[in-house]
């Protein structure tokens, strides 16, 4: 049962979410499945794989983001999700952390249409959807930017680095070759291994900061 698998996954990640978050996450998954039949938003079709590779994978960064904010290292109130596609990881993060304002940015109309529908149906007042190229957006306005399978690190920094001085890149294997190609003015602040319940694959969160 999906609800049980989601509950077990949230517990395995050590997360405490708002009471309505699991139902909202499953409603998001259901909406994604429906839209995917027509608009091909994700190559993953099986709902169990979607739960693991989309929902739990997105939530795997939440503890770090919250700990960073609570530690007072830097404010994290406004997060941009660049190349957000089907709203990942931005929508699960917005559901799980209502105090965080999340802006989804994507160039593809069918994807932003889905994101806007998800915002309406899930009642996500802390979610904003922006269509267009990230490099065309005005500088600043965000405390951090996150991406999941958006681009290699150099491109991420060059395209989105004007939005914030801190970037979070969700990656699979540790991309040592990408790290070596980082543009001047950026450094790797942290490399965090991520564990996704039910997924036997390496995951990493690369934290980039302006020098």
**Full-model pTM:** 0.95
Average pLDDT over residues 193-200: 94
> Does 3 score more than 90 pLDDT?
yes
Q: Is the pLDDT of residue 66 over 70?
A: yes
Q: Is 195 helix (H, G, I), strand (E, B) or coil?
A: coil
Residue 166 in this model has a pLDDT that exceeds 70: yes
Cβ density class 181-201: b for 16+ within 10 Å, e for less: ebeeebeeeeeeebebbebee
Residue 74: the pLDDT is 65
Q: How confident is residue 40, by pLDDT bands cut at 50, 70 and 90?
A: confident
Residue 75 binned pLDDT confidence (cut-offs 50, 70, 90): confident
Asked if pLDDT for residue 88 goes beyond 70, the answer is yes
Domains of the chain (ranges; CATH) run 2-210 (3.40.50.150)
**Residue 71: band (very low, low, confident or very high) from pLDDT cuts 50, 70, 90:** low
Per-residue pLDDT for 5 more than 90?
Answer: yes
Rounded to a whole number, what is the distance in angstroms from the first to the last CA of the chain? 47
**How confident is the model over 131-148, as pLDDT tens digits?**
999 999 999 999 999 999
- pLDDT value of position 149: 79
Among 79, 88, 61, CA closest to 148: 88
Condensed to tens digits (0 to 9), the pLDDT of residues 42-58 reads 999 999 999 999 999 99
pLDDT at 199 exceeding the cut of 90 = yes
Q: Which pLDDT value is given to residue 68?
A: 74
Place of tokens 């915002």: 119
Q: Which tokens is 63 given?
A: 């503890």
Quick one: 54 exposed, middle or buried, by C-beta within 10 A (0-12, 13-18, 19+)?
buried
Q: Which residues contact 50 (CB under 8 A, 6 or more apart)?
A: 29, 32, 33, 42, 44
Q: What angle, rounded to 10 degrees, do the helices at 21-39 and 109-122 form?
A: 150
Name the percent of the chain lying above pLDDT 90. 90
**Distance separating alpha carbons of residues 88 and 120, to the nearest angstrom:** 17
Q: What is the spatial distance between Cα 180 and Cα 2, in angstroms, rounded to a whole number?
A: 41
């Amino acid at each position: 049962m999906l609800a049980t698998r989601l509950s077990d996954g949230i517990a395995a990640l050590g997360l405490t979410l708002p009471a309505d978050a699991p139902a909202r996450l499953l409603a998001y998954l259901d909406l994604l499945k429906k839209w995917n039949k027509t608009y091909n938003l994700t190559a993953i079709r099986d709902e169990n794989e979607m739960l693991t590779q989309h929902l739990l994978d997105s939530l795997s960064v939440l503890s770090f983001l919250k700990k960073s904010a609570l530690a007072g290292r830097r404010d994290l109130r406004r997060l941009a999700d660049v190349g957000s596609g089907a709203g990942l990881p931005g929508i699960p993060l917005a559901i799980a952390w209502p105090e965080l304002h999340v802006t989804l940015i994507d160039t593809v109309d069918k994807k932003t249409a889905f994101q806007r529908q998800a915002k309406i149906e899930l009642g996500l007042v802390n979610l904003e959807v922006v269509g267009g190229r990230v490099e065309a957006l005005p500088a600043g306005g965000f405390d951090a930017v996150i991406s999941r399978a958006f681009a290699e690190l150099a491109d991420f920094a060059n395209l989105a680095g004007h939005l914030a001085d801190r970037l979070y890149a969700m990656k699979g294997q540790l991309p040592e070759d990408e790290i070596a190609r980082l543009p001047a003015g950026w450094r790797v602040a942290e490399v965090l291994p991520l564990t996704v319940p039910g997924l036997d694959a390496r995951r990493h969160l690369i934290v980039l900061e302006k020098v």
